[in-house]
Amino acid sequence: MSRLVVVSNRTGDPRNPAAGGLAVAVGESLRQTGGLWFGWSGKIQDEHGDEKAHYDDVHAQTVGDVQLVTLDLSRRDYETYYLGYANSVLWPVFHYRLDLADFDIRFVAGYRRVNELFARKLLPLLRSDDLIWVHDYHLIPLAAALRALGCGNRIGFFLHIPMPPPLIMAAIPEHEWLMKSLFAYDLVGLQSESDVTHFCHYVESEAHAERLSRERLRAFNRTLRVGAYPIGIDIDEFVRLAEAKDGRDMFLRMREEYSRRRLLLGVDRLDYSKGLPQRVEAFRELLARYPENRNRATLIQIASPSREKVGAYDDLRRQMDSLCGAINGDYGELDWMPVRYIHRNVARKRLPGLYRASRVALVTPLRDGMNLVAKEFIAAQDPADPGMLVLSRFAGAAEQLKEALLVNPYDIEGTAQAIERALTMSADERIQRHDALLSRIRKHDVHWWCSTFLQALKHVEQDVACGPTPHHEGL
């Protein structure tokens, strides 16, 4: 059986996946086959004098069946590749936030440099029959950089974030180069059918790609397979966590604390794509329009710190502090605060208990590749008395989770109405909807995701046997 080589911006401990969708899913796929996980160590080395020569050395360690190989980044690469191109160009644009993008010309050079560095350091570690699986927007040109060095392995790519429509993509000055480099992969996996449609429209209109079949495109002298592989959760592991001591303790504590209240929950990274200010506004609208919720409904919003060195995240933090302060000031009572806003991570083992104690989950991103919190919330519910999911139609998860209450998060009134409907829904309807949702996320769980993607990669028809392809020169 081919060895699996996973490449992602950051690696993690495959036995103890930290918070973050990618870490959870990648850890899972490596545990299935054993293999190599390659990425940035998270460390930054300041370049001065003779230390410069050492900053790109790799560190290797073995964890269970997995070999972890990492490298440090120089400060300049960290600033241009990670903070710059990945998180100030690609992240905002792919989430439709052109207003937040910073097209500083130095960023793309750092992005190319780090992708080339990854390729140079990874190549000597590869065996000829390794299956390589590259993850996410940080590493779009990695296959092209590997091919330029002669790598002929099967290489697959999975984009965890949305693929924007062609005209939004075209705002990136280097969009042609970026999209062309995707054709160095054998298989490109996206989260949803609408992402696939956007990608196909882009390459058909901008690169005159030929659609060979539903999933096969030909452009730049290469044939590429593309498809939707919606990521799932490890549902059995999640149910186990819900039933373990920490999960149960958390559930009982929250039930006791909020026995007279209706609990609403949001769990996110503090990111502008997650629609947090709009969510708090919708909750405020709920209190204004449906006064029976005053002194009764409490929104717990957990927002873990994220990318604090990128300016837009700082602005969001201030905005959330002020919105939550205002709603508590306007509506709070001596014995009730409408919003509990917690700017910290919650331990993973406690999350299921928190989900289960909540009547309603608010998962209302303005744009999201998938959103695993929506799936985790459903998995953690008591099937005999489940809570209700209010879900943004702009999350990739909305394509699968049609029985949730789907909302437009920009529509504050509409979202408030949906929250009220969720809070007052009959037990029969909640049970019916939950049943349908649970069976769908059980069928398409993380095991299904990994095996479907990897099977497709193993069997994809490679049209280049080995070596660099003509369009990769100059990367």
Coil, strand, or helix at residue 88? helix
How buried is residue 366: exposed, middle or buried, by Cβ count under 10 Å (0-12/13-18/19+)? buried
The count of chain residues that interact with ligand ADQ, using the rule CB under 6 A, is 23
In the window 226-245, what residues touch ligand ADQ (CB under 6 A)?
Answer: 231
Q: According to the binding rule CB under 6 A, does residue 452 interact with ligand ADQ?
A: no
Angle, nearest 10°, between helix axes 372-380 and 427-443?
A: 120
Question: Of 167-175, 219-227, 266-274, 446-454, which segment contacts ligand ADQ by CB under 6 A?
Answer: 266-274
Residues 6 or more apart whose CB falls under 8 angstroms from that of 332 comprise 338
d(CA 367, CA 396): 8
Q: Which is nearer to ligand ADQ, 30 or 117 (CB)?
A: 30
Among 3, 19, 103, 227, interactor with ligand ADQ by CB under 6 A: 19
Q: Which is nearer to ligand ADQ, 260 or 344 (CB)?
A: 344
Q: Is 368 an annotated catalytic residue? A: yes
Q: According to the binding rule CB under 6 A, does residue 20 interact with ligand ADQ?
A: yes
Question: Of 124-132, 215-223, 326-334, 363-371, which segment contacts ligand ADQ by CB under 6 A?
Answer: 363-371
In the window 93-152, what residues touch ligand ADQ (CB under 6 A)?
Answer: none
Question: Of 120-128, 291-299, 362-370, 456-464, which segment contacts ligand ADQ by CB under 6 A?
Answer: 362-370
Question: Of 21-29, 105-113, 163-171, 410-418, which segment contacts ligand ADQ by CB under 6 A?
Answer: 21-29
CA distances to 192, 197, 301 from 320, rounded to whole Å, are 30, 34, 10
Q: Which is nearer to ligand ADQ, 145 or 300 (CB)?
A: 300
Contact between 428 and 124 (Cβ < 8 Å) = no
Q: Which DSSP string corresponds to 347-374?
A: -TTTHHHHHHT-SEEEE--SSBS--HHH
Nearest to 231 by CA among 348, 371, 134: 371
If residue 386 lies in a helix (H) or strand (E), which one and from where to where? none
Angle, nearest 10°, between helix axes 235-243 and 372-380?
A: 50
Nearest to 262 by CA among 303, 289, 299, 291: 299
Q: Which DSSP string corresponds to 263-281?
A: EEEEEEES-GGG-HHHHHH
Q: State the CB neighbour count (10 A cutoff) for residue 359.
A: 19
Q: Which is nearer to ligand ADQ, 9 or 45 (CB)?
A: 9
Among 68, 370, 419, 437, interactor with ligand ADQ by CB under 6 A: 370
d(CA 417, CA 289): 9
Q: Which is nearer to ligand ADQ, 35 or 369 (CB)?
A: 369
Q: Which is nearer to ligand ADQ, 232 or 386 (CB)?
A: 232
CB of 194 vs ligand ADQ, minimal distance in Å: 13
The closest residue (CB) to ligand ADQ is 21
Nearest to 70 by CA among 38, 107, 43: 38
Q: According to the binding rule CB under 6 A, does residue 27 interact with ligand ADQ?
A: no
Q: Is 459 an annotated catalytic residue? A: no
Among 28, 77, 234, 268, interactor with ligand ADQ by CB under 6 A: 268
Which one of the listed residues 368, 444, 445, 472 is annotated catalytic? 368
Which one of the listed residues 160, 434, 444, 472 is annotated catalytic? 160
Output the six-digit token pair for 246: 């920490």
Q: According to the binding rule CB under 6 A, does residue 354 interact with ligand ADQ?
A: no
Q: Which is nearer to ligand ADQ, 20 or 332 (CB)?
A: 20
Among 302, 407, 419, 475, interactor with ligand ADQ by CB under 6 A: 302
Task: List, in sequence order, every residue forming a beta bridge with 348; answer none if it has no partner.
Answer: none
d(CA 247, CA 241): 6
Q: Which is nearer to ligand ADQ, 161 or 339 (CB)?
A: 161
Q: According to the binding rule CB under 6 A, does residue 161 interact with ligand ADQ?
A: yes
d(CA 196, CA 215): 9
Q: According to the binding rule CB under 6 A, does residue 156 interact with ligand ADQ?
A: no
Task: List, in sequence order, every residue forming a beta bridge with 406; answer none if it has no partner.
Answer: 391
Q: According to the binding rule CB under 6 A, does residue 22 interact with ligand ADQ?
A: yes
In the window 175-214, what residues touch ligand ADQ (CB under 6 A)?
Answer: none
Question: Of 166-174, 238-246, 370-378, 419-427, which segment contacts ligand ADQ by CB under 6 A?
Answer: 370-378
Question: Of 220-228, 345-353, 407-415, 461-469, which segment contacts ligand ADQ by CB under 6 A?
Answer: 345-353
Q: Which is nearer to ligand ADQ, 300 or 457 (CB)?
A: 300
CB of 203 vs ligand ADQ, minimal distance in Å: 23
Give helix then strand counts, H and E, for the chain: 17, 16
Cα dihedral sign, 339-341-345-347? negative
Catalytic residue positions? 160, 368
- Residues near ligand ADQ, by CB under 6 A: 19-22, 24, 160-161, 231, 267-269, 302, 304, 345-346, 351, 368-373, 376
